[in-house]
Amino acid sequence: MQARERVLIALDTSDAEQAVAWVRMLAPHVGGFKVGLELVHAAGFGVFDRLREAGAERIFYDAKLHDIPNTVARAVRAIARMGVWMVNVHASGGRAMMEAAAEAAHAVSNPPLLVAVTVLTSLSSQELREQVGTRRGAAKQVIHLATLAKEAGFNGVVASAQEAKTLRRRLGRELLIVTPGIRLAGDSAGDQRRIATPSEAVKRGADYLVIGRSVTADADPVGKVLQVVRQIQAR
């Protein structure tokens, strides 16, 4: 995989025109774009077509589905028909929910890649214990949920770079690791807790790096993306 293909730009905005402008500017330099709840709820699902017209060949729909198995399966089937490249589901919904999602995705032609959200990169181990109630630390919870996802037939997981090395060792090369919380040296961490630089994340085993504000809030987004790509190449 080429270095630029690993980079997924997070279109974290409620402004569809801004999202389209970012895609036109950055599509030649990156592997794809992440579309989350903010943009979809503001602009509707038609935004996917607008982004494709602007040059987004790969769209990762950051849906974070989490519901009963039947509901999630029906949602995945509907999302698959929209032609997105990747979609995610919360692994904490359990094995049965993930198995239903995988079965639904595989029932359509050209299914999207299914990835399971393990532990949000905005959570520390202490916050995980307080909010979720698990006695496992973040790293152990990630491994536990990633194992369930692999057994359920998922293509990959969403996890921080801090867990990527252990995931690679435990679960092998075939499982995709999508890593948010990417920051360049000197960038603000924002609301993220478990962060890493692009080179650190790839060295630890990440396949795809989700980068948002570090690029989109920069005065020179293209220059920042090229800096990210150079870091990945030099790892």
**Active-site residue set:** 64
- Helix or strand holding residue 117 (H, E): strand 113-117
Task: Please state the pTM of the whole predicted model.
Answer: 0.91
Residue 188 pLDDT > 80:
no
Q: Which residues of 163-176 are buried (b: 16+ CB within 10 A; e: fewer)?
A: bbebbbeebeeebb
Identify whether the C-beta of residue 143 lies closer than 8 Å to the C-beta of residue 114. Answer: no
How confident is the model over 63-110, as pLDDT tens digits? 999 999 999 999 999 999 999 999 999 999 999 999 999 999 999 888
pLDDT at 183: 75
CA distances from 154 to 30, 76, 116 (A): 24, 13, 7
Residue with tokens 């959200």: 117
Alpha-helical regions (H) of the chain: 16-26, 37-43, 47-54, 69-80, 95-106, 125-132, 138-151, 161-171, 198-203, 213-216, 221-233
pLDDT at 100: 98
- Helix or strand holding residue 207 (H, E): none
Q: Specify the range with the lowest mean pLDDT, choosing from 24-38, 65-79, 173-187.
A: 173-187
Confidence band, pLDDT 50/70/90 cuts, at residue 191: very low
Show the domains of the chain with their CATH numbers: 3-233 (3.20.20.70)
